Amino acid sequence: MPHKKNPDVFQLIRARFDRIQSLPNEIRLITSNLPSVIIEIFRSLKKISFLHLRSLIIAFRLQLTCLEDKSKKQLIER
**Domain presence at residue 15:** no
**Domain presence at residue 51:** yes
Q: Determine the average pLDDT of the residues in 43-60.
A: 85
| Domain containing residue 49 | 21-77
**Domain presence at residue 8:** no
- What is the rounded distance in angstroms from the CA atom of residue 49 to the CA atom of residue 16? 14
32-64 burial, b at 16+ Cβ within 10 Å, e below that, comes to eeeeeeeeeeeeeeeeeeeebeeeeeebeeeee
**Domain presence at residue 52:** yes
pLDDT at residue 30, rounded to an integer: 77
Residue 2 has pLDDT above 60, yes or no: no
Least confident segment among 21-25, 49-53, 55-59, 73-77: 73-77
**Domain presence at residue 12:** no
Residue 52 has pLDDT above 70, yes or no: yes
Number of domains in the chain: 1
* 6 Cβ contact partners less than 8 Å away, ≥ 6 residues apart: 14
**Domain presence at residue 5:** no
**Domain presence at residue 13:** no
- What is the rounded distance in angstroms from the CA atom of residue 20 to the CA atom of residue 27? 12
